[in-house]
Amino acid sequence: MNLLSNCLRIAAGGTLISLLTACASTGGSSSGIADLIIAERGGFVPEGIEYDSRNNRLLVGSMVDGTVYQVLNSGSLVPVIEDDALMASVGIEADEAGNRLLVANANFGGDVSNAMLGVYDLGSGERLAMVDLKAAIENRPANSSHFANDVAISAAGTAFVTDSPMNIVYRVDRYYQPSVLLDLGQDAGFSLNGIEYHPAGYLLVAALGTGQILKVPVNSPDNWSIVELDFSAAGADGLVWAPDGTLVVTSNSESRVLKFRSDDNWRSARVVGIASFEGQATTAAVAGEDVFVVQPNFTNPEPPVILRARF
């Protein structure tokens, strides 16, 4: 079934997107990626999305089977990484300089016992490492809950991973040794989610529980602060940098993507763009000048959707 037919079929059901939007959004973006992609099947729940510019492809994870897929404009899914050790691939990050793909690996469902980082060759998909993040926690309670949510990479190749229930940011060095960079405590109320690294040496972290953005200096993480925003980032989930230096924040509760710009090294930031759409999106990827969001469909069997955000 081609994209247009798929578009009409999904739109006719009225469950994901209007007929007008669905049929007008297949013309393609400046990046060569279709404005609207409807996956060929549902049920795999892609919470994370990434654009691999090295290989010119859109990648998504799967909360259900752990596989990382390439998504074609037609909606076809091509497995890129298949690994029995991937329980649920959540946030995914391409380290193109290091030719690696980093995958936040967690349990999806009732089991909240694992937080891991999978590292793979970006070209071949070969596993390079599977890091047990929670092993870095000293005196970890036996009944602690974990969920590796998102991952960021520094220019030096150091990875940073959020653990949402624990409100922890882990650091994983190039030798795949984990440590705890920041531990805010399970009762902090933040539910740390999306994460990005800034070349100036700090992290920006989405606090889903409060709709805030945290700034965490890598060399002095205890001096973390809350970025003063002029517009609520309620539902802040995925974070990604746009080429113009703005931070793209996907809200998983407000059906929109926000662009924030800072003029004071992210002590504060102002909203400079809002893209709204129907349905729930979780994360975004940047391809050239374009921003694409993924709608995983957590609670229904309809095929997931990838659409270009129009600011």
Which residue from 125, 200, 114 is spatially nearest to 155, judged by alpha carbons? Answer: 200
> In the prediction, which pLDDT does 250 show?
98
- Residue 64's pLDDT is 95
The pLDDT value given to residue 82 = 97
> Does residue 303 lie within any of the structural domains?
yes
Determine, yes or no, domain membership for 51: yes
Q: Is residue 5 part of a domain?
A: no
Domain count, the chain: 1
Looking at residue 15, what is its pLDDT? Answer: 43
CA-wise closest residue to 279 among 254, 242, 303: 254
**Unique residue bearing structure tokens 């497995």:** 79
Does residue 24 form part of some domain?
no
pLDDT for res 109: 74
Q: Is 302 part of any domain?
A: yes
Sheet order of strands, 290-295 included: 36-38, 305-308, 290-295, 283-287
Looking at residue 91, what is its pLDDT? 98
Mean pLDDT, consecutive 10-residue segments, the chain of 311 residues? 42 42 50 95 97 96 97 98 96 97 89 88 97 94 90 97 96 98 94 97 97 97 98 97 97 97 98 97 97 95 96 95
* Entry pTM: 0.91
28: in domain: no
pLDDT of residue 108: 82
Alpha-carbon gap, residue 127 to 115, rounded angstroms: 17
Rounded Cα gap, residues 266 and 227, in angstroms: 6
Whether residue 189 lies inside any domain: the answer is yes
**Domain coverage including residue 107:** 37-308
Domain with residue 101: its CATH number is 2.120.10.30
Place of tokens 């937080």: 115
**Confidence at residue 9, expressed as pLDDT on a 0 to 100 scale:** 44
In a domain, 25, yes or no: no
Q: What is the pLDDT of residue 39?
A: 98
